[in-house]
Chains A and B, each alone.
Chain A
């Protein structure tokens, strides 16, 4: 029962439907990830459509964060990490040796699991990225616009000089989203953005994601299945597998429209995982 046999054709159809309607932002072709020589993620083939929210779900160690960190080459920062295959962004393989990840990351923003604002003022948190990238426009306007889009402007407009780290956890995370938006990216990668937040902040971030979908493609890793079902258009389910030598590694099991994966999953694995969590 794996991604490679009987489920393949149905899955291909689902992906085909997706790519027919929408522009593909990321085309993942035969991507495999290794950590220090060990395969951490088996071959993945998916297409990420434009201006949708794609959720990555699955148990711990299934490779969903690993794959997420391929989209902006954050894995480059981990010693011993190696990515094989092609990962096309707007038709170009971002793992081509000629591509500088610094240029890529300006277009593919990231929000992390734990809110990580810079220990500087709220204003500086937003202004740092654009300034470091030679932004020539009006910085005050950009800061305000970014904070407004991240639905935090009203809470911080009177204290832009105060430290970003002094905000509450939920506010910090929205500040981090504003910081990523300030770079005017195409894609936002979110690595369990609500796992450190309380339910009210979680709701705010989810609502924000649904608004941001108008402008950005969002890929979100989440442990929270309800969250995936609430916000995402498409869901990729990952699972773990133990290989011959007893090493666990992740694999993509099913990638379908979210409704389909939650109400009539194609694969037995997805069905068990989802019903287990709900039941």
Chain B
């Protein structure tokens, strides 16, 4: 064996290299600064939004009966109870409807379906569905739930329509969560003589739940804040009773939209107060999901 590198090579000044570490570090610093600015842009906009909404709406929010009374045609009287209940039930129904369907579809696609071009086509189409504007789902819901199934402009039609809106996001994120489960875990389970379902139920699902919940949070928050599809379905902006499953219904985004289109000045404050309530409602739902996620993340 001959040495390909002679000792002299190390003593020679390495003229072929121009290290210029200072310059390379400087470029790195510039990017770090750009990313920090990007972070602050997002934070500042959000903070401004919160401050403005709180300033406009806090007083109205604290007027007695705002949370517990039915709406009034005077801006500084009455409350938004039917809208809060409407949005709450919509959110609950969306979760109950979409989680089993979405997770089931994701599990089938990832764990059962053969990996063919047909599966890829389905995957691309589901991802595309996640980008369809909500008003299009509203029109679909109007045709299918209101007219074809004959539910009319009721809470159940609204919930089913919002479920359609949420499903693609839940399927896509649940698929990714299931795909992120390490194959070694599946192999370990199969190696012990377990069936596919035992492996999925005991190992794949517990590992994937935190990721699945992230998708649920995102999509339910989107559904709760959506007004366009509910307007098409026929949610009302004025209701004097608590919404039932097969009755006409209100929702917070609809109420907010209605309030800000009124000319009387006081309604702007009422709208801001309703926005605070909507934000809190989403916060509570997310908080619950994050709590469950924390409990299950111990599976990793």
Query: Chain B interface (Cβ within 8 Å of chain A)?
Result: 114-115, 182, 184-195, 198, 202-203, 207, 298-300
Contact = CB atoms under 8 A, between A and B. Distances in A.
B191 A105 contact: yes
A98 interface: no
Given A112-B184, A118-B185, A132-B202, A77 B193 contact: no
Interface in A149-163: none
A119 B300 contact: yes
A124 to B, nearest CB: 9
Interface stretch (A54-62, A175-183, A226-234, A268-276): A175-183
A176 B185 CA distance: 12
A102 interface: yes
A77 B112 CA distance: 11
Given A79-B115, A128-B202, A132-B202, A116 B194 contact: no
Residue from A79, A118, A176 whose CB has the most chain B CB atoms within 10 Å:
A118
B118 to A, nearest CB: 14
Nearest to A101: B190
Q: Chain B: interface secondary structure? A: helix
Size band of the A side of the interface?
20 to 34
Interface string A90-115: 00000000000011111101101010
Contacts of B299: 119-120
B187 A183 contact: no
Nearest to A191: B187
Interface string A120-131: 100000001100
Nearest to A117: B188
A116 B193 contact: no
A74 interface: yes
A162 to B, nearest CB: 12
A112 B187 CA distance: 9
Top 7 nearest A-B pairs by Cβ distance? A106-B193, A129-B192, A116-B184, A110-B191, A105-B193, A132-B194, A116-B188
Given A109-B192, A116-B182, A128-B192, 12 more contacts: A74-B191, A77-B190, A102-B190, A104-B193, A107-B193, A112-B184, A112-B188, A116-B188, A117-B188, A119-B207, A119-B300, A129-B193
Contacts of B195: 102, 132
Nearest to B192: A129
Contact of B193 (A79, A103, A118): A103
Nearest to B199: A132
B192 A72 contact: no
Contacts of B115: 79
A129 B207 CA distance: 18
Contacts of A120: 299
A103 B182 CA distance: 24
A133 interface: yes
Nearest to A163: B298
A128 B199 CA distance: 10
Contacts of B203: 118
B197 to A, nearest CB: 10
A185 to B, nearest CB: 9
